[in-house]
Amino acid sequence: MTVRRDFQEPARCRPDLLIGREELFATARDQLASGGSVLLHGPAGIGKSTVLRALAEEYGATARTVLRCSATESESHLPFLALADLLGLVLDEVSPRLPAAQRTALESALTGRGESSLQRDGLALRLAVLSALRALAAEGPVLIVADDLQWLDPASAELLGFAARRLEGTPVQLLCAVRTEGQESQEYDRHLRACPPDTVAVRLGPLTHVQVARLLDHRGHGCLSRSTVREIHRTSGGNPLFALELGRALADSPTPPRPGEPLPVPTSLRALVLSRLDMLSVEARRTLLVASAGARPTPALLHAAGRENAEAECAQAAELGLLATEQEAPAVRFAHPLISAALYAEAPAQERRAAHAALSTAASDPIERARHLALATTGTDPEVAARLAEAAALSRDRGAPSVAAQLGLLAARHTPADSAPSPDERRLQAAEDAITAGEVDLARDIAREVLTRATVPADRVRAWIIVIDTAGHTMAEVDAVFPQALADAGDDPRLLALVHYQLAWRALIVEGDFTEAREAAAHAAGLAERGGDRRTELLALAFQAQTETLMGHPEAPRTIKRALKEPQDPRVACHHNGAGSARFRWLVMGDQLAEARGTVTALLREVRRRGSVESEVHFLRGLAETELRAGHCGRALELARESLRLARDSGIGETASAMLTSLAEASGGDVDRALALAREAVDHAEEDGDQMYLSRALGALGYAQLVAGDPAGTVRALRRVRRLELGLGITDPARGRWHGDLAEALVRIGEPAEAQDVIDTSREHALRLGRESVLGVLDRAEALVRAAHGDQEAAVAQLTSAQDRLAKLGYGLEEARAAFALAQLRTRRPETGQRRVTAFDEATRLFRRCRALPWLRQVDEALTAPEPEPARAVPDALGGLDALAALASMERQVAALVMEGATNREIAARLFVSVKTVEATLTRVYRKLGIRSRVDIVRLAAARRAK
> Which of 71-80, 83-92, 180-189, 828-837 is the most confident on average?
83-92
Give the pLDDT band (50/70/90) at residue 209.
Answer: confident
The residue-averaged pLDDT of 405-419 equals 93
Q: Name the nearest CA neighbour of 498 among 531, 451, 545, 472.
A: 531
pLDDT at position 553:
86
Residues 6+ apart with CB under 8 A from 449: 427
Residue 782 CA to residue 753 CA, distance in Å, equals: 11
Look at residue 280 in the predicted model and tell me its pLDDT: 86
What percentage of the chain carries pLDDT values higher than 90? 46
What pLDDT does 1 receive? Answer: 33
The per-residue pLDDT for 18 is 80
Give the per-residue pLDDT at 196: 83
Distance CA 466, CA 239 (A): 34
Mean pLDDT comparison of 98-112, 186-200, 734-748, highest-scoring range: 734-748
Tell me: the pLDDT tens digits for 654-692?
999 999 999 999 999 999 999 999 999 999 999 888 877
Q: Sorting pLDDT into bands at 50, 70 and 90, what band is 807?
A: very high
The 3 state secondary structure assigned to 412-457 is: HHCCCCCCCCCHHHHHHHHHHHHHHCCCHHHHHHHHHHHHCCCCCH
- Report CA dihedral (623, 629, 634, 640) to the nearest 10 degrees: 40
Share of the chain above pLDDT 70, in %: 89
Name 732's Cβ contacts closer than 8 Å, sequence gap at least 6.
549, 550, 551, 552, 589, 765, 769, 771
What is d(CA 195, CA 160) in angstroms, rounded to the nearest whole number? 8
pLDDT band at 486, cuts 50/70/90?
very high
Q: Give the model's pLDDT for residue 873.
A: 36
**pLDDT category of residue 910 using cuts at 50, 70 and 90:** low
The type of residue at 119 is Q
The Cα 245–Cα 251 span in angstroms is 10
Q: What is the pLDDT of residue 195?
A: 80
DSSP conformation class of 258:
P
**Mean pLDDT of all residues belonging to the chain:** 86
72 — pLDDT class (breaks 50, 70, 90): confident
Q: What long-range pairs does 795-804 form, CB within 8 A, spacing at least 24?
A: 795/825, 796/822, 796/825, 796/826, 799/825, 802/776, 802/777
Quickly count: other Cβ atoms within 10 Å of residue 345's Cβ: 22
pLDDT at 260: 64
User: What 3-state class would DSSP assign to 270?
Assistant: helix
Residue 123 has pLDDT above 90, yes or no: no
- Res. 6: pLDDT tops 50: no
- Taking 80 as the threshold, does the pLDDT of residue 939 lie above it? no
**Distance between CA atoms of 362 and 341, rounded to whole angstroms?**
21
Q: How confident is the model at residue 70 (pLDDT cuts 50, 70, 90)?
A: confident
- pLDDT higher than threshold 60 for residue 642: yes
Least confident of 295-299, 309-313, 558-562, 866-870: 866-870
Residue 89 CB-density burial (10 A; 0-12 exposed, 13-18 middle, 19+ buried): middle
Predicted pLDDT at 151: 85
Per-residue model confidence (pLDDT) at position 182: 59
pLDDT, tens digit, for every residue of 688-703?
888 778 999 999 999 9
Whether residue 3 has pLDDT greater than 60: no
Pick the more confident residue, 836 or 510: 510
Q: Give pLDDT tens digits for 769-783.
A: 999 999 999 999 999
Which residues are 66's β-sheet partners?
143
Closest CA to 800 of 811, 785, 815: 815
Burial class (CB in 10 A: 0-12, 13-18, 19+), 64: middle
Q: What is the pLDDT of residue 325?
A: 65
Q: What are the strands of the beta sheet with 199-203, ordered from one edge?
A: 65-70, 142-147, 172-179, 37-42, 199-203
